[in-house]
Amino acid sequence: AGLDGDDRVAVALRDGVAAALAFLALPLACTFAPLSRSLRASEYAFEFEDLPAAAVLVHDDDGAEVFVAAAREASLPVVVAVVGTHGFFSVEPRGAAAAPRPARGGDAVALVLHTSGSTARPKLVPLSHANLRAGGVAIATALELAPGTTVLNVMPLFHIHGLAANVLAALAAGACCVAAPGFAALGPAGVLDALRGVDGYSAVPTMHAALLEALAGDGTSGRVSYARNCSAALPPAVAARLEAAFGCEAIATYAMTESMPIAANPRGRGRRLDTVGPASGPDVRLLAPHPSRDEVATGEVCVRGACVTAGYERRGDADPNAALFADGYLRTGDRGTFLADGHLVLDGRFKETINRGGEQLSPLAVEHALASHAAVGSVVAFAAPHARLGEAVGVLVALRPGRVASLGDLRRHAARTLRDAHLPAALVVASGAPLGPTGKALRVGLAARLGL
């Protein structure tokens, strides 16, 4: 009671069944705004103001102290989810019974999410019921989900990947989604146990890599039929290891908050490990840089369709859509090329390219080349400062247990498939790269984070 359809409820529930149910239920009455549970008080304050939030929803048994304190500082009503059996929950305070209202749907906004904002103020992305429905159907179709299929979700449910690729796609197909507590809560060994008896899962590359390391000769081939990747590039060598370890199909895909999905490899014989597949869901074109609207062979990936947001929400005088939409096509900021068979190859985001003496280099090409080195567990390529060239290729490598590799070893390995310009000039060996809240490596600004 007391919330209107356009009101936004900021939600910080633990990953699991209750969070999945909240995502499915709340948009019928208001707008769902899920937030990470690990934000600082100042970040919550920004979220509450920018959404803007009308109320917040938390679990009854975990406090979420920083979130609740920030909500009270902002004078927001705190609604408590009292979780019962099987993840079903009621809310307190319940308040007076509201008059029945028609369920929201169609073009009404169901979900709002902020972009990552890694280099600027994050933009607010509204997604309608129609956007989410179209996206869920497209993902389910590409994965060939059906009644009787069981999908495991270990992605955070404050991110579009978990919400759409696992929960919505399963719902669209009449399949089952196991809403697990999350990858970090279970740990790699716990996720491997949870995969027993399910048909597939969708995750980010760092999660796939952690599962492969946990398997380490476990001999558990045939555990799932597919392992879907999204949100960051999956090197073909890692995809091949997934297929060998699980006896499954590794499905490389491409999407973003503003359009889930964009492209996806099909199941079966049409699948390729070196691409993100053909367009899946929206219409996809490659355009020359803004303000040009010319189609080009290699250019910025631009999307238009039922699963694509109608536009970023405007804050203040600046219109974030002016330079990012052209004839209804959203400019993604990603550079890509279509192959003759219709599959899309991504070179990375324009803002992440390495400017080596004026030559623009793709960090993904470097990662894909080095991921096949026997000593490399995971690798992130980034722009490292260079006295003469301005920038050169740097790589942060997590080595596989018991293995060693020098910069020279990695350069020689990469030289088999890459030009000299792409060979790494700096090597940092660490347990892993700094990660964002969804498990994606933080490539932008990585040199500064590493003190280079």
Q: Residue 66, Cα to own-chain centre: how many angstroms?
A: 25
Q: Residue 178, Cα to own-chain centre: how many angstroms?
A: 19
- Identify the CATH number of the domain defined by range 353-449: 3.30.300.30
pLDDT for the residue 250: 97
Closest CA to 433 of 217, 232, 143: 232
Closest CA to 435 of 260, 183, 217, 65: 183
Tokens of residue 150, six digits: 């069981």
pLDDT for the residue 95: 45
Q: In whole angstroms, what is the distance from residue 30 CA to residue 188 CA? A: 36
Q: Tell me if the domain spanning 8-104 has CATH number 3.40.50.980.
A: yes
Q: What is the mean pLDDT of each run of 10 residues along the chain (452 residues)?
A: 83 94 94 94 95 92 85 92 64 52 81 76 93 98 97 96 97 96 94 94 94 76 88 92 94 97 95 96 94 92 97 83 86 95 93 91 94 95 94 96 96 96 96 85 91 90
The residue extents of the domains of the chain are: 8-104, 129-349, 353-449
Q: Which residues contact 22 (CB under 8 A, 6 or more apart)?
A: 11, 13, 32, 57, 81, 89
The total of other beta-carbon atoms located within 10 Å of residue 430's CB is 13
Contact 368, 349 (CB under 8 A): no
pLDDT for the residue 121: 76
pLDDT for the residue 96: 46
Q: What is the pTM of this model?
A: 0.87
Domain 129-349, second-level architecture: 3-Layer(aba) Sandwich (3.40)
Whether the domain at 129-349 and the domain at 353-449 fall into the same CATH topology: no
List the Cα angle 169/252/197 in 5-degree steps.
55
DSSP, res 197: T
DSSP, res 441: B
Beta strands in 154-297 (DSSP E): 176-179, 200-203, 226-229, 249-256, 259-264, 283-287
3-state secondary structure at position 390: strand
pLDDT for the residue 178: 96
pLDDT for the residue 94: 44
Q: Which residues contact 153 (CB under 8 A, 6 or more apart)?
A: 15, 20, 162, 166, 167, 177, 178, 179, 180, 201, 202
